[in-house]
């Protein structure tokens, strides 16, 4: 069936899921066409006078014809974007159990503060004398990060976790080159369970990646690290708590082994939200670690919001921190934009044009100051408690790959429990959509078959967790009692159902083309 725009209706898309509708809308959930489909060339939401005749000064490069952008009136534009926003599921709509991503509540206070003109409207090229307040906020944030991690120096400019990894690994590379070992130390050790960005980062800057096996219990095999750590090794990249939601108990030994071999310890700090206020990476022997401000200090990164991945460095790596960085002379803050020989600085370079994500700095600092040291510690404890509550309430139905040992901030299930049911991890995740939940992370980490990684975060109340758990139990019982249909065609109720994700990734259609006119004869 075609709707008024001549497109297949959503209901027709979801065949078998109830009645098709004339409009393609599903009750009050409105189907929304592309701007190009609904816009008109002769419409605009603004009313501007025709310009007086003028002589262009573009040397013949001026536009000759219409741009051809679709126009909408203001109410039409408003509806278009609000409808699209209603098709998005976010942390402000419901529980977002995406493991590894840490989708926690972002307090509205953060937004209020980030919009203060002194933070929101500054320009990175403004004279520093006019932005002392903004620099003060950056400096305070940096000092909090050093205090919480027990490290020596901080680079604020990286714009995401992966960018922070690049920053930390470039500092390590610079330190190795400064010792004249650049040609020999080419190997970076990465545990099998690592986030894909770790090996990608190491490879990007020319290191050779060697995988470190895990033990039965999911943690890194220390004996393998000992056997592999030699004069060819530059660093290990280790996540703690690891991506299986488990604390690497041997982290101090691992650090000692690496240091004794003349190598560095990079810690992927994306899971720092589980240990803030409980353990300081600097005390554990870490040399460099990025912190995902957007995971640990609120502002979930769904919906395209920016991230921020400051890197903290140990005394051994501090001289290699990238430009720019802050200095304080007397009562005045300044930005160091060029290496100063007298200060022993040997910055490896610069990662971004300017100073990083100001809005994210302000949000993270607002979160820190409003929670306080005790509040941040409690947030970590509650995140771990909530994950363990989910684990305990589901462990009789879903299978735990590493036994019934407590987890940190996220709980990992595998698909052993689905064996013989005809239901896969993907089917299970899709059925959660029909129940109004964004699925958990699936098929990551790769070391576990059919992984389902659930991270509830500290944001969720007991009531919210109980409903989530009851829903998963109901689904799990359906799956194991033969109701495969609930899963194999799911989601039944979503406006769009199973998409060909492989095709979408391999051959994305990035340009809209007008549809063929529907011929009269075919009517």
Ligand X SMILES: *Cc1c(COP(=O)(O)O)cnc(C)c1O
Q: Is 240 a binder of ligand X (CB under 6 A)?
A: no
Q: Is 478 a binder of ligand X (CB under 6 A)?
A: no
3-state DSSP call for residue 27?
coil
From 26, 104, 185, 195, residue interacting with ligand X (rule: CB under 6 A): 195
3-state DSSP call for residue 523?
coil
From 161, 282, 450, 456, residue interacting with ligand X (rule: CB under 6 A): 161
* Residue closest to ligand X (Cβ): 161
Q: Shortest approach of ligand X to residue 161 CB, angstroms?
A: 2
Extract the tokens encoding 108.
Answer: 């509205």
From 100, 110, 314, 459, residue interacting with ligand X (rule: CB under 6 A): 100
Site map for ligand X, 118-157, x if CB under 6 A?
Answer: ----------------------------------------
Q: For the residues of 365-397, what is the DSSP string, one character each?
A: HHHHHHHHHHHHHHHHHHHHHHHHHHHHHHTTT
From 3, 239, 296, 421, residue interacting with ligand X (rule: CB under 6 A): 239
Other Cβ atoms within 10 Å of 249 Cβ, number: 13
* Residues in binding contact with ligand X, number by CB under 6 A: 14
From 9, 149, 219, 292, residue interacting with ligand X (rule: CB under 6 A): 292
CA distance readout (Å), 457 to 295, 308, 382, 390, 442: 10, 19, 8, 11, 17
From 103, 151, 156, 162, residue interacting with ligand X (rule: CB under 6 A): 162
Extract the tokens encoding 406.
Answer: 């407590």
Characterize 339-369 residue by residue with b for buried, 16 or more Cβ atoms within 10 angstroms of its Cβ, and e for exposed.
Answer: eeeeeebbbbeebbeebbbbbbbbbbbbbbe
Q: In the complex with ligand X, which residue's Cβ is closer, 292 or 459? A: 292
Extract the tokens encoding 210.
Answer: 């060697």
Provide the CB-side half-sphere exposure for 232 (13 A, CA): 10
Residues 407 and 453 sit within 8 Å (Cβ to Cβ) = no
The sign of the CA dihedral 217, 223, 226, 227 is negative
Tell me, letter by letter, the H, E, C secondary structure of 94-138: CCCCECCCCCCCCCHHHHHHHCCHHHHCCCCCCCHHHCHHHHHHH
Q: Is 307 a binder of ligand X (CB under 6 A)?
A: yes
Q: In the complex with ligand X, which residue's Cβ is closer, 191 or 495? A: 191
Q: In the complex with ligand X, which residue's Cβ is closer, 163 or 497? A: 163
Q: In the complex with ligand X, which residue's Cβ is closer, 294 or 391? A: 294
Q: Shortest approach of ligand X to residue 246 CB, angstroms?
A: 13
For the segment 246-275, give every residue that binds ligand X (CB under 6 A): 268, 270-271
Characterize 250-275 residue by residue with b for buried, 16 or more Cβ atoms within 10 angstroms of its Cβ, and e for exposed.
Answer: bbeebbebbeebbbbbbbbbbbbbbb
Q: Which stretch binds ligand X (CB under 6 A): 120-128, 139-147, 158-166, 179-187?
A: 158-166
Q: Is 197 a binder of ligand X (CB under 6 A)?
A: yes
Q: Is 287 a binder of ligand X (CB under 6 A)?
A: no
Site map for ligand X, 42-81, x if CB under 6 A?
Answer: ----------------------------------------
Q: Shortest approach of ligand X to residue 396 CB, angstroms?
A: 28
Strand partners, 414: 399
Q: Which residues sit at the interface with ligand X, rule CB under 6 A?
A: 100, 160-162, 195, 197, 239, 243, 268, 270-271, 292, 307, 309
């Amino acid at each position: 069936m075609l709707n008024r725009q001549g497109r297949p209706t959503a209901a027709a898309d979801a065949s078998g899921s109830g009645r098709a509708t004339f409009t393609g809308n599903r009750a009050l959930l409105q189907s929304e066409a592309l701007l190009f489909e609904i816009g008109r060339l002769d419409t605009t939401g603004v009313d501007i006078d025709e310009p007086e005749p003028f002589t262009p000064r573009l040397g013949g490069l001026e536009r000759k014809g219409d741009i051809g952008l679709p126009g909408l009136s203001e109410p039409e534009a408003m509806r278009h974007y609000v409808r699209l926003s209603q098709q998005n599921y976010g942390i402000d709509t419901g529980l977002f159990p995406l493991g590894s991503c840490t989708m926690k509540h972002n307090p509205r206070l953060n937004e209020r503060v980030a919009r203060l003109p002194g933070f929101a409207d500054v320009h990175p090229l403004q004279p520093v004398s006019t932005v002392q307040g903004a620099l003060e906020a950056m400096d305070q944030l940096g000092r909090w990060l050093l205090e919480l991690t027990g490290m020596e120096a901080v680079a604020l400019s990286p714009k995401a976790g992966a960018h922070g990894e690049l920053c930390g690994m470039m500092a390590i590379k610079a330190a190795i080159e400064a010792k004249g070992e650049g040609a020999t130390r080419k190997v970076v050790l990465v545990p099998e369970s690592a986030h894909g960005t770790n090996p990608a980062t190491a490879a990007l800057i020319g290191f050779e990646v060697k995988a470190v096996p895990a033990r039965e219990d999911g943690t890194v095999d220390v004996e393998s690290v000992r056997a592999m750590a030699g004069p060819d090794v530059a660093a290990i990249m280790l996540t703690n708590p690891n991506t299986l939601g488990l604390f690497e108990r041997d982290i101090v030994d691992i650090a000692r082994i690496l240091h004794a071999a003349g190598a560095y310890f990079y810690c992927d700090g994306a899971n720092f939200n589980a240990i803030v206020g409980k353990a300081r990476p600097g005390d554990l022997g870490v040399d460099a670690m990025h912190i995902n401000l957007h995971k640990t200090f609120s502002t979930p990164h769904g919906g395209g919001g920016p991230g921020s991945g400051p890197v903290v460095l140990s005394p051994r790596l501090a001289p290699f921190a990238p430009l720019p960085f802050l200095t304080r002379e007397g009562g005045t803050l300044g930005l160091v934009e060029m290496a100063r020989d007298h200060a022993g600085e040997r910055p490896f370079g610069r990662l971004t044009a300017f100073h990083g994500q100001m809005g994210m700095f302000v949000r993270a600092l607002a979160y820190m100051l409003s929670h306080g040291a005790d509040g941040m510690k409690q947030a970590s404890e509650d995140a771990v408690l909530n994950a363990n509550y989910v684990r305990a309430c589901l462990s009789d139905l879903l299978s735990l790959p590493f036994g019934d040992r407590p987890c940190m901030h996220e709980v990992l299930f595998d698909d052993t429990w689905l064996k013989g049911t005809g239901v896969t991890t993907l089917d299970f995740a899709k059925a959660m959509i029909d129940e109004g939940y964004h699925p958990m992370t699936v098929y990551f980490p790769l070391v576990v078959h059919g992984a389902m990684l659930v991270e509830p975060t500290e944001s969720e109340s007991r009531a919210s967790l109980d409903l989530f758990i009851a829903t998963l139990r109901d689904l799990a019982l359906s799956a194991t009692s033969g109701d495969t249909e609930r899963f194999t065609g799911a989601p039944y109720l979503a406006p769009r159902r199973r998409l060909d994700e492989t095709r979408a990734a391999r051959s994305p259609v990035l340009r809209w083309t007008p549809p063929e006119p529907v011929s009269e004869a075919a009517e």
